Amino acid sequence: MARSRMILPAHDPACRRLFHADRLTAEGHRIALEIWLRATGREREGTRVVVFRCRRCAGFHVARKRKVPKPDVVGPPAGLSEADEPNLIMGL
């Protein structure tokens, strides 16, 4: 029987996550995981799957991260216009 020469990700006991040696294989696993989560209906609202570099083992891991909603752009108050502002240059 033919054996695959592909290097499979290994479980890292220090981090308790799946260890990937490079970002490319971790990104491939992330894409496959996103497809699997959508196909099985396990995709959660407000989360996304990301690849990050681990400080402990210096490898790459795949995990879910919460999406932080972007704040709405707030402009000047509606009641304040340029005519209402005091003119500080003229001293009025």
Whether the model pTM is above 0.85: no
Do 49 and 63 meet the contact criterion of CB atoms below 8 Å apart?
Answer: yes
Q: In sequence order, which residues have a C-beta less than 8 Å from that of residue 20 and are 6 or more positions away?
A: 9, 26, 29, 51, 59, 60, 61, 62
Residuewise pLDDT in 10s, the chain (92 residues): 556 555 666 777 777 888 888 899 999 999 999 999 999 998 888 889 999 998 888 889 999 888 877 777 666 666 555 555 565 665 55
